[in-house]
Structure 1
Amino acid sequence: MRRALLIAVAALGLIGPPVVAQEPPPAPDRPLPDGAQEARAQALFDGIRCVVCQHEAIADSPAVIAADMRQLVREQVAAGRSDAEIEQDLVRRYGDFVLFQPPVRSGTWLLWFGPVALLTGILALLLFRSRRPRTEIEPLTAVEEARLADIISEAHLRRDPDAKPSDD
């Protein structure tokens, strides 16, 4: 009995820490009192990527950091900063990745123009290959045609072992 109790306590000790170590739920969002400012903040939320979820905007993300980013954007909107200044501040903190549409600069050229360049290269290759002169296949000579007719007409040709009478 004592041993079973000791095993149960040890099992609870192994299960307990992961439950305690979970991330607490984010604090509920507090919208801005001014409706125009809140609408502007909501519009910004859709263009900012959650750095944890990576495929969701901070408007849709349940992560704590997304809630913190929403609060930060709301504070900056309330402080009167422009959309560009808010985005620059987020890029300074988290990098270009935080924006769903990163800026066009030398570090992002491949991201912006890579697909177009790849498609252009493939189309150029296809065009080049289609305009290349094709080699003409010469017709068989009379001697070659006679030899082919002899091969086809020979009776000792091995039949296809998988062939059925209906295939003839």
Structure 2
Amino acid sequence: MIRTLLAALILSLSLLAPALAVEPDEVMADPALEARARALSIELRCLVCQNQSIDGSSAPLARDLRILVRERLAAGESDEQVISFIVDRYGEFVLLTPRLSSHTLILWGAPLLILLIGGGLVVRLLLRAGANEDVQIEGVAQPYEDGHPLDEEEVAALSALLEQDASELKQK
């Protein structure tokens, strides 16, 4: 019982850890500005952690970026101006969701291209498999009902050749 409660407590505290990344001294007095700052912080990548937003990172650089976002919002800049300032300073990599541009076109188009190619291959294989089932070529021997594609003379000739090969191997 105690182990279960302890495990639940540890799990709940670990889930709350990212929410504690924004320190109390960073929180803005105006709730509307704080909401905008949090929304922007979720869009920006921590350059230390790389797969985490600055909102959920406890790295010192992430803290500096969160403070920078809040300072610029408090100065009256729009969300786009704040994002542009940070992108100009740190590059497109700082955005967790890259913008659609000529540099990122392959990033956005590759999944669709792979899907189309894969779908085309599947359709081609299905059409080819369906076409192969019903093909009857004139002049080509079809299997007899007993499953042998050869007539009795051909089977006898083949058996003789196989026996001849077997006897030659035994002589060596």
TM-score by structure 2 length? Answer: 0.64
Alpha-carbon distance in 1 for matches of 2:48, 2:156:
74
Distance in 2 separating the partners of 1:62 and 1:46: 13
Report if aligned partners of 1:29, 1:67 keep a CA contact under 8 Å in 2.
Answer: no
Structure 2 alignment gaps of length 5 or more: 1-22, 144-148, 161-172
**CA RMSD, Structure 1 to Structure 2 (Å):** 2.7
Instruction: Give per-residue Cα distances to partners, 1:27-60, cap 9 Å, x unaligned.
Output: 8742222121111101111111101100111011
The residue correspondences of 1:60-79 to structure 2 (distance < 5 A) are 60-79=56-75
1:2-41 equivalences under 5 Å are 29-41=25-37
- 1:105 paired with 2:114, answer no
| 1:1-168 correspondence to structure 2 within 5 Å | 29-132=25-128, 133-134=131-132, 138-139=142-143, 140-143=149-152, 146-147=155-156
How far is 1:145 from its partner? Answer: 7.9
Q: By percentage of residues, which structure has more helix?
A: 2
Gaps of 5+ in 1: 1-26, 152-168
- Identity over aligned residues, as a percent? 40
How many residues are matched? 127
Secondary structure of the corresponding residue to residue 125 of structure 2: helix
Shift of 1:143: 2.3
Distance 1:147 1:86 in 2: 87
